[in-house]
Amino acid sequence: MKATKPRLLPLFLSVLKISAFTFGGGYVIVPLMRKRFSEELLWVKEEEMLDMIAIAQSAPGPIAVNTSILLGYRLLGLKGALVSVLGTALPPLFVLTLISMFYSAFRANTWIAALLNAMRAGVAAVIVDVVWTMAQNITKKRRATPILLMAAAFVAVWFLKVNIILVLVACGLIGFVDASLRARKEAA
Amino acid sequence: MLLTLYWAFFQVGLFAFGGGLAALPLIREQVVVIHPWLSMAAFTDLVTIAEMTPGPIALNAATFVGNQVAGIPGALVATLGCITPSVIIVLILARLYSAWRDRPAFMGVLSGLRPAAVALIASAGMSIAILALFGEGGAISLHSLDLVALGCFALSLFALRKWKPSPIVVMFGAGLVGAGIKLLFRLP
């Protein structure tokens, strides 16, 4: 697809659609935002998108909301940020208000329960696909530090259950030290 | 009442580091322990509903609680409260990002955070994949492996890598096929 100029309406509709149809919360929504804005619309570079995701995860609050604010601000300034956060918040407001009205009927419906359970397999495949692409982008640069950091961060979060904030702070520090060491080596 | 609701969810948004799932214990603290808004059983339902409906989990939870406590104005106020800290903090971070993007030290920190972001998404994907393939019990064994879900997962992943379809189509496709097979053959 050819890159177009970022505009408010497509930004709003894109985040609205992602928020309205994406099951599984921020960790599913954020990869979909990456796909939409850096693969399909080509509005942000892959690297910038990863930066925004990292910043969104280090800040408090829902990750999907944080990412949409960063994305909107980067594309269209303050207006963009507000439009983008509105697009993210409207679908839950609408859907959950409806569900909260028909809460008991919704809960007892076997079809809905079966559909929601079966959709998880598709959700898992979508995340694996996204991680696959993102990991390739890290490994194809053939630098040891990011690859090791990615592996170590995964082991720390998944197997050792280390606090996410701690992992992010440690990775940021290691990245900082690594960059300063390289800068010194280049200067010498 | 609305002000209390706003303040309760403002605190949730301010202290929830690590996304919607991290927000759940904070929401429990606010709506079950501090304020008598929901029973523990209703809170458990809230978690299930927030996870199985589209959109950010924390916003789903805020809308649901707001509705139960004070109707639609309650839902609006709770959502706004949840978003306010994000908007303030993330906009500050976004300004820092655009101002400092070209400084080597900041680039170094980001080069460490990028692989960490991939690892975090990967570990979230693992938990969803395990839930999809082995069910709620969390026991990973050949016995608990759900073959229908495994088939849907493999087909979805294959389709995503080969044709790059929209993730929303893949998720609903997997849901319809999986639920159809299960209900047709009366599988568990």
What span, in angstroms and rounded, lies between the C-alpha atoms of B186 and B188?
A: 7
Q: pLDDT-based confidence at B138, cuts 50/70/90?
A: low
Contacts for A177 with CB less than 8 Å, ≥ 6 apart: B108
User: Which B-chain residues 120-159 have CB contacts (< 8 A) with chain A?
Assistant: 120-126, 128-129, 131-133, 148-150, 152-154, 156-157
The closest CB to that of A176, out of B52, B82, B108, belongs to B108
Class of residue B33 by CB neighbours under 10 A (exposed 0-12, middle 13-18, buried 19+): exposed
Is residue B131 within 8 A of residue A127, CB to CB? The reply is no
Q: What is the pLDDT of residue B22?
A: 64
Q: State the number of CA atoms in the 13 A half-sphere of A127 facing the CB.
A: 28
Interchain pair A24, B91: CB under 8 A = no
Average pLDDT for B116-126: 82
pTM of the model: 0.75
Q: What is the pLDDT of residue A65?
A: 92
Interchain pair A125, B19: CB under 8 A = no
> Of residues A136 and B187, which shows the higher confidence score?
A136
Q: What is the pLDDT of residue B19?
A: 63
Average pLDDT for B169-184: 89
For residue B137, which amino acid is it?
G
Interchain pair B120, A164: CB under 8 A = yes
* Total Cβ atoms within 10 A of residue B150: 14
Which residues of chain A have a pLDDT value below 50?
A: none
Would the CA dihedral through A43, A49, A51, A52 be positive or negative?
Answer: positive
Q: Which residues pair with B54 in a beta bridge?
A: A23
* Total Cβ atoms within 10 A of residue A132: 14
Q: pLDDT-based confidence at B21, cuts 50/70/90?
A: low
CA of A24 vs chain B CAs: smallest distance (Å): 6
ipTM for this prediction: 0.76
Is residue A54 within 8 A of residue A146, CB to CB? The reply is no
Average pLDDT for B136-143: 73
Q: pLDDT for B25-80, tens place per residue? A: 788 888 988 899 988 877 877 877 777 788 888 899 999 999 989 999 999 999 99
* Total Cβ atoms within 10 A of residue A94: 14
What span, in angstroms and rounded, lies between the C-alpha atoms of B165 and A167?
A: 33
Interchain pair A100, B63: CB under 8 A = yes
A-B contacts at Cβ under 8 angstroms: 379
Class of residue A116 by CB neighbours under 10 A (exposed 0-12, middle 13-18, buried 19+): middle
Strands (E) located in chain A:
none
Residue B25 backbone class (left: φ over 0; alpha: ψ -120 to 50; beta: rest): alpha
Distances in Å between the alpha carbon of B140 and those of B39, B58, B130, B131, B144?
32, 28, 8, 10, 7
Token pair of A56, please?
Answer: 């969104």
Nearest to A96 by CA among B61, B22, B71, B30: B61
User: What average pLDDT does the structure give for chain B?
Assistant: 86
Q: Chain A residues with CB inside 8 Å of B88's CB?
A: none
B70 touches chain A (CB under 8 A): no
> Of residues B148 and B107, which shows the higher confidence score?
B148
Boundaries of every domain in chain B: 2-100, 104-184
